[in-house]
Amino acid sequence: MATLEEYLSQIKDLTIVPPVLLSVLSLDDDNEISFGELEKKVQSDQVLVARLLKLANSPFFSRGNPVANMKQVITRLGFKTVRSMVAMSMTDSLFSQGNYKKFRDEVWDHSVAKGIFAQILCEEKKFKKEAELAITCGLMQDLGRIVLNTIDRKKYVEVLTEFQTSDVSLVSLEKKAFGVDSYEMGSAAAKLWKMPTIIITSIDDLSKPVAEQSSLGQIIGFAGVIAKLTGHGKQEPGTLEKLEEYKTSLGFEIEDVKSYLAAKDEKLKTNELYQFCSTL
C-alpha cells in the first residue's frame, strides 16, 4: 500500500485541478483588476462561457436585455457569483471523472449542498467576508476524495459501495483501502498545488474537533451536517450529535430541528447557484 508521499509523487504532474480554477480561486475580492482578470481567465474556456451566457440570459436572471459577452455576464450576475459558478462548473468536471454516477451522487451533490448551505449560514451570522469564501471552500474540502478517486477509481467506488451498505465511516474505509484518508490526501494535495491558505485551512479543519476548527471551518462543518440531514450525502452514525455540537459552538438557536432542516432545504432548492448546478 502506497504512502502519502508516494501518492503525491503520482499526482504531482497530473492536471487534476485545472490551472484556470486555481487562478480564479486566488483572485482578490471584487475590484476593477480582479473583474478584468476574471473576464480574461473565464474567456479561455468556451464551454464555461457558453454555460454562463445561457444562465445570464435565462428567465431567472434576465432583465429583458440579452447579454453577449463575459463582461456583461459579470456585470449582470456579479463578480462573486460568477467566481462561485466558475468553481462549481470546473469542480463538476473533477467530480465527474470516470463517469462514476456513484461518486458524483455521493460526493459532488454533498459538496455543492455543503458550500451553498455554508454561504446561507454565513449570511445569517452576518459573516460577510466568510460568505464570499464559503462556497469555494465547501467545494474544495472534498479535494482528497477527488484525488483518491483519480489515483484508483475502481478501488474508490468499492469504498463508496461499502460505505453505502455499512455503518462504517467513509474516512475509516478510505484509510483501510488506501492507507491514507481523504482529509490527509486533500490537505497534502492542496499544499502541493499551492492553493489559497483559506482552502488549505478549511480542509485541515475536517480532521479537528469542532472546538479547534476555524470559524469558517465550523460553519462549513455545520453546513455539511445539514446537507446530510437533508438527503445530500449519506448520514453517518453521530450526525445528529454533530448538529448539536456545531449549533452550540456557533450559537444557533434551533427550536424544531425538523422544521429548521425543511426550511434550509427549501432555501437550497431556490438558490440560483444550486439551480446553475442542475444545468451542469
Mind listing the domains of the chain with CATH numbers?
4-18+84-277 (1.10.3210.10)
- Tell me the whole-structure pTM to 2 decimals: 0.83
Q: How far apart are CA 223 and CA 200, in angstroms?
A: 18
Q: How far apart are CA 136 and CA 33, in angstroms?
A: 20
* Cβ count near 193 (within 10 Å): 17
Range in 22-36, 139-153, 214-228 with the lowest mean pLDDT: 22-36
Q: Which grid coordinates belong to 112?
A: 455543492
156, 207, 212: which is closest to 184 by C-alpha? 207
Question: Range with the lowest mean pLDDT among 116-125, 144-153, 255-264, 268-277?
Answer: 268-277
Q: How confident is the model at residue 136 (pLDDT cuts 50, 70, 90)?
A: confident
Instruction: State the pLDDT at residue 97.
Output: 57
The span from the CA of 276 to the CA of 111, in Å, is 14
Residue 40: all three cell numbers together = 480574461
- CB neighbour burial string for 206-234, b if at least 16 within 10 angstroms, e if fewer: beeebeebbebbbbbbbbbbbbbbbebbe
Q: Can you give the pLDDT at residue 213?
A: 94
Q: Read off the pLDDT of each residue in 115-125 and give the average, rounded to a whole number.
A: 91
C-alpha cell belonging to residue 177: 483501502
Closest by CA position to 183, among listed 201, 165, 195: 201
Q: How many CB atoms lie within 10 A of CB 125?
A: 15
Q: What is the mean pLDDT of residues 151-164?
A: 90
Which grid cell sits at 188?
A: 497534502
Model pLDDT, residue 268: 92
Q: Characterize 8-41 residue by residue with b for buried, 16 or more Cβ atoms within 10 angstroms of its Cβ, and e for exposed.
A: beebeeeeebbebbeebbebeeeeeeebebbbeb
Average pLDDT over residues 136-157: 88
Span 224-235, pLDDT tens digits? 999 999 999 888
Residue 43 grid cell: 474567456
- Computed over every residue of the chain, the mean pLDDT equals 85
100 pLDDT exceeds 80? Answer: no
Q: Are 253 and 259 in contact (CB under 8 A)?
A: no
177's CB contacts (< 8 A; 6+ apart) are 155, 156, 158, 159
Count Cβ atoms below 10 Å from residue 263 Cβ, excluding itself: 11
Give the span between the Cα atoms of 76 and 62, in whole angstroms. 9
DSSP classification of residue 227: H
Cβ contact 202:220 at 8 Å: yes
Q: Which residue has the higher pLDDT, 99 or 241?
A: 241
| pLDDT-based confidence at residue 194 (cuts at 50, 70, 90) | confident
Q: Report pLDDT for 219.
A: 94
